[in-house]
C-alpha cells in the first residue's frame, strides 16, 4: 500500500508523533495525544483491518514507536500508551480475522497483515528494545503488593503480551532460506531477549510465590521460545566433541552417498559396451497394449525395467479435500550460541520452576480460570521438558508434578475430547487433530518416563513405576485408546507426523504391557461392556371400567369387605405403603398408595386393600386423605368405595429396591404389569425409530496379552502402518523399527501372515528390495522376505491368493485363506453376518410380488412384499438389495421409507385458526395443552404446538400451558375425604413432549407454594414418623438446627409478646442442602411452616399464627427422633440468643464461618424481604484419593542415578482385584505427601 494512499486523518496523526534525525528521535508536543488517537483508530477499523494495513505500510512501529520506547522510557504515561499501541499492532493475524479466510480477497488482507507482523518481528530483534522492556519489568516486579498499583499490574501484563506477540509471529519461508545453524529472525529475537536478561525475569515469574497470576503468560512465552527446537538435540548439545554432535548429519550423508554410488554402478552396467545409434524394437509378450496385441517397445533393453503404462500420461489431479494434511512447521537447528542459551534455560527451569509452574497451570485449568484451549501449552510443556530431562541424565524428582496416575488421566481425558471433537466438528477437524497430536506426544513422553523409571537403580523409583503401570494397565480406557486412534486415522486431516508418533507410542505401550504381563500368571484388569437395548414402547392402556361396571363390582366386594371389618377374615401383615429408602418423593408415594388401593379393589383383593388403607393412614395422618385417626367401619367402607370409583391417573410402576425386589405389592397375586419398566412418554412424530438405551457394565477379568494383540489385527491398523512405511527413506530408524515390529507381531506372534498379503504392501516391498540403499533398512528387508516367502508358499496351494492381494483382510478371511474357504462353521467369523442365499424359486416369487404391488399408489412396496413373502426372516434391507441385484430397481434410494411427521412442516391459515379456536375453547380448563392435542386435526408434537401458541401471542410463557393441579382444602373432615381423593398430586400421563420435565418441576413448585394459611395449626405430634425417617437418612444436623430455630422463635415470642413471620436462613451447606430436600420440606409443611409465598420471598418462614406452645410441641416432636444419641461433635449446642440483638451480617456458607458447626439464627423480619436471586449451589464431592491426601497429583519418585537395565523378573506381582489397586493408589499418595 502506497504512503500517499493513507487516510488523511491517519496521516496527520502519524506526522504529529515526531521525526527521527539520525539515531535521535524528536517527539512533537502532541505525541501522547497522537498515540491515543492511533489506539482509537485501531479500535474502530473495519473487517479488512485497513488501519492496521496502513500503519504497517507506513512502518510506524519501526520508525516511530520503537525509537520513542527506547529514548523516552522515563515518561510513564507515554511509555504506557506506546506499549498499549504496540500490543494492538503486533497481535496475531488469527486474532484479527478470527480464522484463516477462505475467500481470495480476505485471504489477501490476511497475508498482508502477516507480512507486516514479520517486519515488526525483525525490528524487535534489537538488544536496545529488550533492555528497556527488561528494566521496566524488573522495576515493576521490585514493588511490593502494597505499593503496586493497578496501572503497574496492567503494564506488567502488557509487556508480557508484547513479548508473546513478537515471538508468536511465524517465519517467512521466502526470506529465511538459510541452512541449519544460521541465525534466523527468531534466533536473533531470542538472543536479544537473552542479552537483556528477560529470560531470568521469566524464570523469576515462574518460581515466585507472589507472582502466581502470570503462570499461563510465562508458559505461553516459553512454548514460543522453544517452538523450533527439539528436546533431544538440546539435551545432546555439548556432551561430546564436534564430530559426535554432527554424527546424525554424517550418517545421513553416508546413506545418500551409498545410494548415489549404487545408482552410478547400475547405470554403468546397463550401458552397452558398443554405442549403437539404433536401439531396436522389441515385442513384450504377455503384456497387452491398448488393443489386443502385445506391447511394442522402441527403446533399448536396459530401459525395460523402467517401462510402465503411465509413461507420457499427465498425473491425475487430487482434489483438495483428498490431499494429505500438511505437516506442521519442521524443527530447524538454530545457531549454536542460541541453542546453548536455551539448553541452560531448560536446566534452570527444570531445577527451580517446572514443578511449581505446572502445578499452578493445572490448577487454573481444572478450575476453568484459563482461556479456552490453554491446556495445549500444558501438554506441550509436559512433552518437551520431560523429554529433555529424560535425555539429560534422567532425574525423576525434577518432573514429579507431571508423573503419576492423575497426569495420565488428565492427558487421556483431553486426548479423548479432541478425538471426539475431530469426529463431530468436521470443519475444524484439522485444528482438533493438531491439539490431539500435542496430547499424544505428552502421553508418549509419560510412557517413556515410566520406562526410564523401571531402569532406575533406586528401589523407590522402580516401585513408583510399578504402581503407575498397575493402574494404567488396569483401566480399560488406556488400553482402548490406541485402537480408537488407529481406526479413525484420516490422512486428509492428520499429518504423517501424527501417524509416526501414534505408531511409536503404540509400540512402546505394547512392549511395556508385554513385559508387565511376563511372569504374572493371572493379571486382572477392568472390563467395560456396553449393552444396548431398545426401549419398550408404551403399552396400550386399557379403557377404564364404566360406572355401571364399578357398581356391579362393588356389590360383589361388599360382603367380603364386611367380613374383613368384623375380623372374620385375617388381614395380611406384610403390606408397607411407604419406603423411606426410596428416591420417590413422599407426595408421589402417597399417590401411589391410592392407586394401589384402587388396584387391589378392582382385582377383588379386599383384605390387602383394607390393610393398605389403614397402614397409609398411619403414615400420612395429615389432611385425613385416608380417613381420620378414629374412623369407624362405616367410614372405611365409604372411603374404599370412593377410592374404587375415583378417576385416578394411570398406574405408576412398582417401587423397586436395590436388588430388584418390588416393594409394597399386595401379595403374590399382584397386577400382571407389576415390575415392568416404567411407561415411556410417546415419541414425537419426527422420531419414528425406537431409541436405544445404553448400559455400561463394569467387571473384572483375567488379561491375556495375545487376545489384546488380536484387536490390532484389522485393516485400519495395517493400512496405517503401510502408509507410514511408504516414506521409509525419510523416516527415522526408530520409526521404521516400530512399524516393522508391529507388523511382525501381527504376522509372526499371531500367526496371521495372510493379513499382510496386500498389493500396496507388496509394491512397497518391491521398491524396498530394489533400492540401492536397502542395506540401511535390514529390518524391513528381513520382514519383506519373510512375508513374500509365506505368500508364495500359500499361493502354491491356494490359487485365489493372487486375487486376495487386492483386498484388505480380516482375521476371519485369514482363517479361510489358510484352512479353506468352507472351514468356518456357521456362526463363526464373517459367516455370522451372512444370510441365506436367494434360491431361484424365491427370486421368482419376489419378482412376482414386486410387479404386483408396484402399481399400487400411496403404499409401501417393500412392506407389502415382506407381508406376502413366503420365506420368513427376510429384512427390508435384504429385499431392497435383492431387487437392485436383480435389476428391478436402479438403487436403494427408490425405496426410501417415509418417516412420520415429515410431511407437515408449515402451518396453514386454516390450521392456525383451528388452533386459536381450540385455545379459546379450552383456555379455562385444567389441561389446556392436553385438550388441544386431543381435538387438533393435524397431528403435531406438543413442542410444535407450544411454539406456535407462543408465536401467535396467545400465551406469554410456557407456564400458562402446564397442567393445573387441584388443591386439597384446609383440614378436611371425614366427610370431605371424597373430595380430597382427586386432589392428590398426579403424574401427567400424556407427557409426550420435551417440556414434561419443566411441567413436573412447575407442579412441584406449585405444590410447595400452595395456599397454606397463616391460621393453619399443626396437630400435636405431627411429623414424628417423617422426622424419624429423615434422622435415619443422615439429616440429624438439619433436624437439630430446625428444632433450635423453633425453640428460639417460641422464646422470642414469649419475651416480646409480638409475633412476626421468622424466615429460616440456612447458613451452612448441610442445612442448605436439607432445605432443597423434598422430604425435609414435607416435614416443614407438616409442622405448619410456610414456604415462600411469591417471587419476593426466598426463605421458608415460621408463621406468625403459631403460638409459643405450638412451636415447642413441634420442636418436641422433632426432638423425639431427631436427637443424635451419639452426640456428633459437628454441631455442638449453643445457648439460645435473641434474634433481635444486633449481629453482624451473616455470610454465605463457607466464607465467614471457621467451623462447620455454626448454626444459623432465624432473623425476624416483619415485612416481606426484597427480591433476592435464589441460586442453587452444587458441591463436587472429591474422590477418595483427594480426601485422603492433599498432596500433588503425581507420584513423586526418588532421585535416580544413571540408567541401567534391570531384570524384568524383579517386578512386583500384578495386584488382583479392585482392593489391591486402591491400596496401590494409597501407597502412591503417601509417597506424594512424604
DSSP string over 589-633: HHHHHHHHHHHHHHTT-HHHHHHHHHHHHHH--GGGTT--TT--H
Dihedral sign for Cα 127, 129, 130, 135, please.
Answer: positive
Contact in structure between 591 and 985 (CB atoms under 8 Å): yes
Q: Which residue has the cell 370412593?
A: 642
Longest distance between any two alpha carbons in the chain, whole Å = 132
Contact in structure between 588 and 652 (CB atoms under 8 Å): yes
Distance CA(890)–CA(1105), nearest Å, equals 82
C-alpha cell at 206: 515462574
Residues 6 or more apart whose CB falls under 8 angstroms from that of 358 comprise 378, 381, 382, 401, 402
Q: What are phi and psi of 802, to 5 degrees?
A: -70, -35
Average pLDDT for runs of 10 along the chain of length 1234: 66 89 88 93 90 91 92 92 94 89 90 93 92 93 87 93 94 72 86 93 91 92 91 81 58 77 72 58 81 80 72 80 79 83 93 93 89 91 94 91 92 92 89 93 95 92 92 90 92 92 96 88 77 55 72 81 80 75 74 83 82 81 75 81 76 38 36 37 39 69 90 94 92 93 94 94 92 86 95 92 92 89 55 66 87 75 84 84 86 70 62 86 84 81 82 79 59 38 36 41 43 50 76 83 87 79 81 82 84 72 85 80 41 38 38 36 38 37 38 40 39 39 39 41
Distance CA(205)–CA(360), nearest Å, equals 12
The residue among 161, 63, 31, 69 whose CA lies nearest residue 55 is: 63
Distance CA(1180)–CA(1208), nearest Å, equals 41
**pLDDT tens by residue, 680-709:** 333 333 334 444 556 777 888 888 899 999
C-alpha cell at 952: 401467535
Helix and strand element counts for the chain (H, E): 50, 10
282-288 and 294-297 as β-strands: parallel, antiparallel, unpaired? antiparallel
Distance CA(364)–CA(375), nearest Å, equals 10
**Per-residue pLDDT at 973:** 41
Distance of CA 57 to the CA centre of its chain: 45
692-703 and 523-534 as β-strands: parallel, antiparallel, unpaired? antiparallel
Distant-in-sequence contacts of 1001-1005, Cβ < 8 A, 24+ apart: 1002/959, 1002/962, 1003/962, 1003/963, 1003/965, 1004/1078
C-alpha cell at 603: 382385582
**Per-residue pLDDT at 1199:** 39
Q: What are phi and psi of 827, to 5 degrees?
A: 95, 0
Contact in structure between 93 and 106 (CB atoms under 8 Å): no
- pTM > 0.85: no
Integer CA distances (angstroms), 226 to 339, 345, 497, 602, in order = 10, 10, 18, 80
Distance CA(755)–CA(733), nearest Å, equals 24
**pLDDT tens by residue, 756-785:** 999 999 999 999 998 877 888 899 999 999
Angle at 720 between CA 718 and CA 723, to 5 degrees: 110
Distance CA(356)–CA(219), nearest Å, equals 12
Distant-in-sequence contacts of 833-841, Cβ < 8 A, 24+ apart: 835/878, 838/882
Distance CA(182)–CA(191), nearest Å, equals 13
**Per-residue pLDDT at 779:** 94
Distance of CA 1175 to the CA centre of its chain: 26
C-alpha cell at 532: 444396548
Amino acid at each position: 500500500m502506497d504512503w500517499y494512499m493513507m487516510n488523511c486523518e491517519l496521516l496527520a496523526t502519524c506526522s504529529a508523533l515526531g521525526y527521527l534525525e539520525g539515531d535521535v528521535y524528536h517527539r512533537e508536543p502532541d505525541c501522547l495525544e497522537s498515540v491515543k488517537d492511533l489506539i482509537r483508530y485501531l479500535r474502530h477499523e473495519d473487517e479488512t483491518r485497513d488501519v492496521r494495513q496502513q500503519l504497517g505500510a507506513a512502518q510506524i512501529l519501526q520508525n516511530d514507536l520503537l525509537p520513542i520506547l527506547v529514548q523516552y522510557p522515563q515518561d510513564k504515561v507515554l511509555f504506557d500508551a506506546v506499549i498499549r499501541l504496540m500490543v494492538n499492532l503486533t497481535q496475531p493475524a488469527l486474532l484479527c480475522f478470527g480464522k484463516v479466510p477462505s475467500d481470495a480477497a480476505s485471504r489477501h488482507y490476511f497475508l498482508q497483515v502477516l507480512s507486516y507482523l514479520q517486519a515488526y518481528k525483525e525490528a524487535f530483534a534489537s538488544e536496545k528494545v529488550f533492555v528497556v522492556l527488561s528494566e521496566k519489568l524488573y522495576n515493576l516486579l521490585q514493588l511490593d503488593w502494597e505499593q503496586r498499583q493497578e496501572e503497574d499490574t496492567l503494564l506488567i501484563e502488557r509487556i508480557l503480551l508484547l513479548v508473546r506477540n513478537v515471538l508468536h509471529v511465524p517465519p517467512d519461508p521466502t526470506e529465511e532460506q538459510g541452512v541449519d545453524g544460521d541465525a534466523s529472525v527468531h534466533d536473533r529475537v531470542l538472543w536479544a531477549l537473552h542479552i537483556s536478561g528477560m529470560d531470568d525475569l521469566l524464570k523469576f515469574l515462574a518460581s515466585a510465590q507472589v507472582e502466581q497470576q502470570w503462570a499461563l503468560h510465562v508458559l505461553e512465552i516459553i512454548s514460543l521460545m522453544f517452538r523450533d527446537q527439539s528436546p533431544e538435540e538440546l539435551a545432546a548439545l555439548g556432551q561430546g566433541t564436534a564430530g559426535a554432535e554432527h554424527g546424525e548429519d554424517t550418517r545421513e550423508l553416508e546413506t545418500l552417498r551409498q545410494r548415489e554410488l549404487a545408482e552410478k554402478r547400475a547405470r554403468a552396467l546397463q550401458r552397452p559396451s558398443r554405442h549403437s545409434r539404433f536401439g531396436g524394437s522389441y515385442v513384450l509378450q504377455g503384456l497387452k497394449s491398448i488393443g489386443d496385441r502385445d506391447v511394442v517397445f522402441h527403446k533399448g533393453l536396459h530401459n525395460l525395467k523402467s517401462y510402465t503404462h503411465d509413461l507420457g500420461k499427465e498425473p491425475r489431479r487430487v482434489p483438495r479435500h483428498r490431499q494429505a494434511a500438511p505437516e506442521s512447521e519442521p524443527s530447524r537447528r538454530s545457531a549454536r550460541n542460541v541453542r546453548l542459551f536455551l539448553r541452560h534455560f531448560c536446566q534452570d527451569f527444570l531445577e527451580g520452576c517446572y514443578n511449581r509452574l505446572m502445578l499452578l497451570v493445572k490448577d487454573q485449568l481444572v478450575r476453568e480460570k484459563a482461556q479456552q484451549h490453554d491446556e495445549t501449552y500444558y501438554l506441550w510443556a509436559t512433552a518437551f521438558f520431560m523429554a529433555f530431562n529424560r535425555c539429560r541424565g534422567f532425574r525423576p524428582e525434577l518432573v514429579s508434578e507431571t508423573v503419576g496416575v492423575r497426569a495420565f488421566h488428565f492427558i487421556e481425558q483431553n486426548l479423548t475430547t479432541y478425538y471426539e471433537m475431530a469426529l463431530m466438528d468436521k470443519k475444524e477437524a484439522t485444528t482438533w487433530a493438531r491439539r490431539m497430536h500435542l496430547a499424544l506426544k505428552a502421553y508418549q513422553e509419560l510412557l517413556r518416563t515410566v520406562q526410564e523409571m523401571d531402569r532406575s537403580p533406586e528401589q523407590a523409583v522402580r516401585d513408583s513405576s510399578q504402581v503407575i503401570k498397575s493402574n494404567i494397565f488396569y483401566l480399560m480406557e488406556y488400553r482402548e485408546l490406541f485402537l480408537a486412534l488407529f481406526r479413525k486415522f484420516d490422512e486428509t486431516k492428520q499429518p504423517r507426523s501424527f501417524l509416526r508418533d501414534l505408531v511409536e507410542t503404540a509400540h512402546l505401550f505394547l512392549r511395556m504391557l508385554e513385559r508387565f504381563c511376563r511372569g504374572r500368571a493371572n493379571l486382572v484388569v477392568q472390563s467395560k461392556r456396553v449393552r444396548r437395548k431398545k426401549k419398550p414402547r408404551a403399552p396400550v392402556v386399557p379403557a377404564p371400567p364404566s360406572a355401571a361396571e364399578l357398581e356391579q363390582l362393588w356389590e360383589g366386594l361388599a360382603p367380603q369387605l364386611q367380613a374383613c371389618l368384623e375380623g372374620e377374615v385375617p388381614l395380611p401383615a406384610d403390606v408397607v405403603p411407604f419406603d423411606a429408602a426410596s428416591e420417590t418423593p413422599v407426595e408421589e408415594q402417597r399417590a401411589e398408595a391410592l392407586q394401589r388401593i384402587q388396584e387391589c379393589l378392582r382385582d377383588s383383593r379386599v383384605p390387602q386393600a383394607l390393610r393398605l388403607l389403614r397402614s397409609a393412614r398411619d403414615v400420612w395422618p395429615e389432611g385425613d386423605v385416608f380417613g381420620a385417626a378414629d374412623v369407624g367401619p362405616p367410614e372405611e367402607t365409604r372411603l374404599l368405595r370412593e377410592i374404587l370409583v375415583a378417576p385416578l391417573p394411570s398406574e405408576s410402576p412398582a417401587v423397586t429396591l436395590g436388588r430388584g425386589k418390588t416393594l409394597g405389592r399386595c401379595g403374590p397375586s399382584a397386577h400382571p404389569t407389576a415390575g415392568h419398566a416404567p411407561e415411556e412418554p410417546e415419541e414425537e412424530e419426527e422420531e419414528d425409530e425406537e431409541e436405544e438405551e445404553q448400559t455400561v457394565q463394569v467387571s473384572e477379568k483375567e488379561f491375556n496379552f495375545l487376545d489384546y494383540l488380536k484387536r490390532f489385527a484389522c485393516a485400519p491398523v495395517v493400512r496405517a502402518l503401510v502408509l507410514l512405511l511408504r516414506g521409509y527413506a525419510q523416516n527415522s530408524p526408530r520409526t521404521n523399527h516400530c512399524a516393522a515390529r508391529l507388523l511382525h507381531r501381527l504376522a509372526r506372534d499371531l500367526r496371521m501372515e495372510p493379513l499382510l498379503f496386500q498389493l500396496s504392501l507388496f509394491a512397497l516391498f518391491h521398491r524396498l528390495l530394489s533400492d540401492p540403499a536397502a542395506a540401511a533398512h535390514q529390518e524391513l528387508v528381513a520382514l519383506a522376505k519373510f512375508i513374500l516367502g509365506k505368500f508364495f508358499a500359500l499361493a502354491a496351494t491356494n490359487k485365489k491368493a493372487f486375487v486376495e492381494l487386492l483386498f484388505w483382510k480380516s482375521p476371519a478371511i485369514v482363517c479361510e485363506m489358510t484352512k479353506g474357504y468352507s472351514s468356518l462353521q456357521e456362526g463363526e467369523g464373517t459367516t455370522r453376518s451372512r444370510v441365506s442365499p436367494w434360491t431361484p424359486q424365491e427370486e421368482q416369487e419376489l419378482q412376482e410380488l414386486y410387479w404386483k404391488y408396484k402399481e399400487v399408489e400411496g403404499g409401501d412396496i417393500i412392506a407389502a412384499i415382506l407381508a406376502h413373502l413366503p420365506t420368513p426372516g427376510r429384512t427390508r434391507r435384504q429385499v431392497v438389495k435383492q431387487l437392485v441385484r436383480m435389476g428391478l430397481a436402479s438403487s436403494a434410494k427408490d425405496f426410501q421409507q417415509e418417516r412420520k411427521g415429515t410431511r407437515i412442516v408449515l402451518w396453514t391459515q386454516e390450521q392456525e385458526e383451528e388452533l386459536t379456536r381450540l385455545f379459546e375453547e379450552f383456555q379455562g380448563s385444567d389441561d389446556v395443552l392436553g385438550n388441544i392435542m386431543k381435538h387438533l386435526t393435524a397431528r403435531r408434537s406438543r413442542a410444535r404446538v407450544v411454539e406456535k401458541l407462543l408465536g401467535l401471542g396467545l400465551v406469554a410463557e410456557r407456564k400458562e400451558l402446564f397442567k393445573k393441579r387441584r388443591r386439597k382444602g384446609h383440614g378436611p373432615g371425614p366427610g370431605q375425604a371424597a373430595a380430597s381423593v382427586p386432589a392428590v398430586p398426579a403424574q401427567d400421563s400424556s407427557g409426550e413432549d420435551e417440556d414434561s420435565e419443566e411441567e413436573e418441576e412447575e407442579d412441584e413448585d406449585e405444590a410447595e407454594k400452595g395456599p397454606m394459611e397463616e391460621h393453619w395449626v399443626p396437630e400435636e405430634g405431627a411429623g414424628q414418623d417423617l422426622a424419624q425417617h429423615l434422622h435415619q437418612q443422615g439429616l440429624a444436623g438439619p433436624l437439630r438446627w430446625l428444632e433450635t430455630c423453633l425453640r428460639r422463635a417460641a422464646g422470642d415470642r414469649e419475651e416480646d409478646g409480638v409475633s412476626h413471620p421468622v424466615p429460616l436462613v440456612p447458613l451452612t451447606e448441610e442445612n442448605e442442602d436439607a432445605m432443597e430436600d423434598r422430604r425435609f420440606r414435607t416435614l416443614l409443611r407438616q409442622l405448619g411452616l410456610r414456604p415462600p409465598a411469591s417471587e419476593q420471598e426466598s426463605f421458608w418462614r415460621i408463621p406468625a399464627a403459631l403460638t409459643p406452645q405450638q412451636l415447642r410441641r413441634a420442636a418436641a416432636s422433632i426432638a423425639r427422633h431427631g436427637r443424635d444419641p451419639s452426640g456428633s461433635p459437628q454441631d455442638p449446642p449453643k445457648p439460645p440468643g435473641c434474634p433481635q440483638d444486633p449481629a453482624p451480617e451473616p455470610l454465605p456458607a463457607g466464607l465467614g464461618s471457621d467451623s462447620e458447626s455454626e448454626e444459623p439464627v432465624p432473623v425476624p423480619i416483619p415485612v416481606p424481604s426484597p427480591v433476592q436471586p435464589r441460586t442453587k449451589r452444587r458441591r463436587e464431592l472429591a474422590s477418595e484419593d483427594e480426601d485422603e491426601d492433599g498432596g500433588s497429583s503425581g507420584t513423586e519418585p526418588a532421585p535416580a542415578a544413571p540408567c541401567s537395565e534391570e531384570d524384568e523378573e524383579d517386578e512386583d506381582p500384578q495386584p488382583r482385584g479392585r482392593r489391591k489397586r486402591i491400596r496401590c493408589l494409597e501407597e502412591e499418595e503417601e509417597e506424594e505427601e512424604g
